[in-house]
Amino acid sequence: MVMKKGSRIQSISPTIGIVTISAPEAVWNPEIYQRGKAQLEQRGVRIIEGETVHSEYFYLAERPEKIAEGLHSMFLRDDIEAIMCAGGGTCMNKVLPFLDFSLIRNNYKPFIGISNIVSLMVPMLNEGIVSFHGPFSIWSYGLPDVTPTDFTHHNWIDILSGYTGKLPSVTKWKTYRSGVAEGQLIGGNIWSLGVIAGTRYCPANLFDHKVLMIEDIGKTYDRLDSVLTQLKLLGMFKKLSGVVIGKLQGCNPPENVKMEVEDFISLVFSEYDFPIIYDCDFGHIPDNLCLPLGCMVRVEANDEPGITLLESGVI
């Protein structure tokens, strides 16, 4: 399948649409949202807000069908160059039945999300659409004394401008199993993968010959293992080319269990022989890489592990 890509942004000061398509995080965190918006604008980014940014429907930004309608309207606009999510949530999968993926594909522009939004981004990949695992406007730009960082801001601007080549790093990445892997990127937040795995939006064979990237926040290793074992039982790991693990921010062993992150990786992936690198600079962290799902990468798992983007995520 030829992947659908959006047009590259035309400058370092693009016009972007901000959307809220899972939880009403801008309503729940109004000061942080406004600070994030202001920080983007101070960096020259022009913002157009989506219909559901300031709405609330229990733990959703709106009724699922209204969220879908609002997202459709953003893709149909010709005055924005890209779409960035304000925040995440827990129930992105409730919106999937109401989305018109043909409309999105035919009117596509680069779409940036992370965390629970992965429950939409992997189904987009299943429809042959490239999306970008990157910053939220709230958490990547609005946290006082924490975000934004130049690393995060410059990286998504570079990626949406057409960058290819070796991806930058802030911390020292680590190799669990050495080797070289190539394949399209797939994945994201572990829990959000689990709530769509095995459905028509995320079939097991979608993972064949791909490089799986995973991250999560605030969960014990046994809970993460349970979700990843579900993917394993569905056959999603049988034909993987490699695995890239980001920052497992605030993830730890269960109480009274002594183990390291390497033990957790072994419990999940010991029976496979594909290369694995971990502790990479993406996830629920201030310095967060922008990674195009559906694009070819090369993973080098050695003493100096790294990821090379082999194709641009935009045209």
Residue 1, pLDDT score: 79
In CATH, the architecture of 165-309 is: 3-Layer(bba) Sandwich (3.50)
Question: What pLDDT digit, counting tens, does each position of 263-311 carry?
Answer: 999 999 999 999 999 999 999 999 999 999 999 999 999 999 999 999 9
In CATH, what number does 15-160 get?
3.40.50.10740
Low-confidence ranges of the chain (pLDDT < 50): none
Question: What pLDDT digit, counting tens, does each position of 75-119 carry?
Answer: 999 999 999 999 999 999 999 999 999 999 999 999 999 999 999
Q: Is 253 left (phi over 0), alpha (psi -120 to 50) or beta?
A: beta
Residue range(s) occupied by CATH 3.50.30.60 in the chain: 165-309
Residue 297, pLDDT score: 98
Name 192's Cβ contacts closer than 8 Å, sequence gap at least 6. Answer: 92, 115, 116, 117, 118, 119
In the chain, the amino acid numbered 298 is: R
pTM listed for this prediction: 0.98
Q: State the distance between the two ends of the chain, measured CA to CA, in whole angstroms.
A: 16
Residue 86, pLDDT score: 98
Residue 4, pLDDT score: 98
Residue range(s) occupied by CATH 3.40.50.10740 in the chain: 15-160
